[in-house]
Each structure stands twice: as C-alpha cells, then as structure tokens.
Chain A
C-alpha cells in the first residue's frame, strides 16, 4: 500500500486492474485504492509479470503492506510492490453507490464525458430509497486526514513566513492580449502564469524544492508542484503537476486543467499524490487577500497566492491604481532561511514583470 501523502496511514483496495500473469510496466495503473481523501489510481514502479495478488478488494491495510508480487521477465518470483477502461464516476458518487448497494458499472452516466454523478446513482438505487448519509463520514475522514498532516507539520516544521505584493498589470495585460488571439479552449488562466513563474523562481532558489528527511535537505531536480484543489464535497486535495519544470506555459495550463478535472471526478494517480516537491495554494478565487500556508511534510515550502485586487500603487514618484497580488512563502527554517525565501519572492516578482518570457 503506497503512501499517498504524509497524512495517510492506511488504504482500502477498491479494485485490481491486473491479474496474475499480466505483463506490467513502470507507470501502469494496477489498482484503485480508497483513502480518506479520495480514490486513487495506483501506479506500479517496476516492470515485469504479475505473480500474485496478496490483498483482496475491500481489504483495508496499513501503508507499507505488500499488495502484490511481480517477477521480472524470464526470472523466478518475487519482486515486490503494488487497466482496462476505467469507470468514470466521481468519488462521492462511487461512495454513495457502495452505500446504496448499486452496481456502478450498470449505470449510464449523464455527467461530463459520461461520468456517473450522484444523481445517476440515486436514480439507480432500489425503490425504497435509503437516505444517503455519506457526507458526514467523508467530511470526517477528510478532516482526520488533514488534521494528521497539518498537526505533524506544525509539530515538526519551524515555519517562517514572508509576504510581498506584486504588481500584476503587465502580466494581466499580456494574458488578455494572448487570450484574445486564442481559441476559447486554449485560453490561459492567471494560475498557469503563476505556476510558470514559480518554476522559474525555483531555478533561482532550488533549496525550496525538495524534502527534509533524516535531518537534511534533499533538493529535487524535478519540480513537482502540488496544487491545492477544492473538492466539491468539501476539503482540499493537493495533487502534483509532475515535472512542471519541463512544461511550457501551454502545457502547464493543460496539466492544470487535467489535474483539476480528475481531482473532482476521480482518476488521480498515486504518483501525483506522493511526489509533490513544493505546494502552491491559490485561494484568490475564494476572495482571500493572502495565504499563510502550512507546509506539507516532507516538503520544505508552500507558496500562497491571494486574490488580485486593485490597490493604490506608488512607482517612480507617481501614485496610481494597479492590480496587486499578495504572494506569500511559508518556508521550513531547517531547510532555508529568510534570505533565500526573500530571493525567491523577489525572483517571482521579477518574472511576473516579464510575462512574455514565461
């Protein structure tokens, strides 16, 4: 059972996507696992042939439990580790289907791309309709998971906080011009530009991208940005855009759209929940001015963005009104100090003043 975040202690195997004798390669989805936050597609990190499945669907097992054994081609047993067309169903609908005893594979979905929605499940439920009560359980599970991670973070990580205000005029003007010439489906959101600026700023201060493990900082070469996404049933989940440092602005926008859709409809991959190297929390849509985040261990930094709002702005002796963004950094003082944090925010600001280069 892979650890899909610092807050995860156990998971329930929902479904195997493989059977003994199947050939699998690194990155294949081999199982679906339910955690307290969501249902996740588990990827395999080895290549070989499935030897034995050791855990049955429905079993809840602790993190670290061997789910299956695989063997390499032409070899005798038994390396360790943990798909046909996947059912498109939201986590909430799936949970409801299980509670109501409805076979979700027999439901015709009416959601996006045929996804099964809560309403579809309720309609398919047997006549004397059981009053569904999944929300309190789900919420309780979500709160427990968040509580575990954040308590650990506050217990272990000596946070420091820095904040800067960034004039977004040039960035927003550039985005407006850019989007004017694009088909609707290719429009860019400001969030994509911010992520790209974060990637560039991490090139300047790579110490913020990594893990604090065994009393030392491991700087990671790949930038996997965990992006906090609000779930419709409540709570937040922070799947990562993997290898964000290798993606163009358009690719980042595409990855962001894909990640948000899958976080809300189901279909996140295990690596997206376990390999984030830094987190970005963009709560501007919720109207907050600034975000003072709690670092997700073992990461060492969290970048927060509030909403862009018009403010009086003095520049070169002139007073004007500008769209201003409050950008914050929560840093792990064991890994970096305020000087590096300040360099990061300064670089972030600088890159957002030259959006055409992002």
Chain B
C-alpha cells in the first residue's frame, strides 16, 4: 500500500466517523480530537475501523502516538515496514 493509499484510507475512516468535519482544514500535526471535535467514543470508533480495514491493532498505550494524522501515518507505516522486513 502506498503512502497515498494509506492516507486516503485513514481520511476515509475519519470521515465516516465524523462526517461533518472539514478534513481539508486538518493539518498533519493537529490533534484530531481537538481539531475535529471528536470524543473518546469517536476515537475508539476510528481505532476499531483501522483494525477492521488495515488489520492493525493499536493498543491503548499507543493512543498518544496516533493523536494526529501524521502520527497515525507514521505508526501504520512503521508497522507495515516491520511486517515486510520479517
């Protein structure tokens, strides 16, 4: 999966959870919850959707690493790279 594909998948997931949010205004380093006004339920829904779509289990202890779009991209890219390296 290319980085562009990954980004598209993530934005699609966020859009499904928060359809009213203006994703074009979301900067890569902006906090998702603050910028998009999503709560802990929405965030869990995003984590579940990532698990369903990309088969990646993000443990709660890693939530801080995936609090921004860039953070999610980096987190998932690392995992993808690690699985390729095995």
Contacts from A to B (Cβ < 8 Å): 90, 92, 111-112, 117-119, 176, 179-180, 184-185, 187, 189-191, 230, 232-233, 256-257, 260, 285-286
Contacts and interface: CB of A to CB of B under 8 A. Distances in A.
Given A179-B60, A180-B59, A180-B60, A92 B20 contact: yes
Nearest to B60: A179
B60 A185 contact: no
Contact of A119 (B17, B19, B61): B19
Contacts of A92: 20
Main secondary structure of the interface of B (DSSP, over half): helix
Interface in B10-58: 16-20, 33, 39-41, 44, 47-48, 51-52, 57-58
A118 B19 CA distance: 8
A185 B33 CA distance: 19
Contact of A176 (B39, B44, B61): B61
A35 B32 CA distance: 32
A85 to B, nearest CB: 21
A279 to B, nearest CB: 17
B40 A184 contact: no
Q: Closest 8 interchain pairs by CB?
A: A285-B39, A184-B51, A232-B20, A117-B19, A185-B48, A112-B16, A260-B41, A184-B48
Task: Say which size band chain B's interface belongs to.
Answer: 10 to 19
B16 A111 contact: yes
A124 B61 CA distance: 43
A189 B63 CA distance: 13
Contacts of A187: 44, 47, 60
Contacts of A232: 18-20
Main secondary structure of the interface of A (DSSP, over half): helix
Q: Which of B16, B19, B40, B47 has the most CB of A within 10 A?
A: B19
Interface string B50-86: 0110000111110000000000000000000000000
Contacts of B18: 232
23 contacts: A90-B19, A92-B20, A112-B17, A119-B19, A176-B61, A179-B60, A184-B51, A184-B57, A185-B48, A185-B52, A187-B44, A187-B47, A189-B41, A190-B40, A191-B40, A191-B41, A232-B18, A232-B20, A257-B41, A260-B41, A285-B33, A285-B39, A285-B40
Nearest to A285: B39
Contacts, number: 44
Nearest to B20: A232
Contact of A118 (B20, B51, B58, B59): B20
Contacts of B19: 90, 111, 117-119, 232
A325 B14 CA distance: 29
Contact of B39 (A90, A180, A185, A230): A230
Q: Which of A257, A260, A285 has the most CB of B within 10 A?
A: A285
A128 to B, nearest CB: 24
Given A176-B60, A189-B41, A285-B40, 9 more contacts: A111-B16, A184-B48, A187-B47, A191-B41, A230-B39, A257-B41, A260-B41, A285-B33, A286-B39
A319 B16 CA distance: 45
Contacts of A285: 33, 39-40
A90 B60 CA distance: 30
Q: Which of B16, B41, B61 has the most CB of A within 10 A?
A: B41
A267 to B, nearest CB: 15
Contact of A185 (B17, B40, B41, B51): B51
A257 B17 CA distance: 13
A90 B17 CA distance: 12
A112 B39 CA distance: 17
Contacts of A260: 41
Contacts of A111: 16, 19
A45 B41 CA distance: 32
A112 B17 CA distance: 7
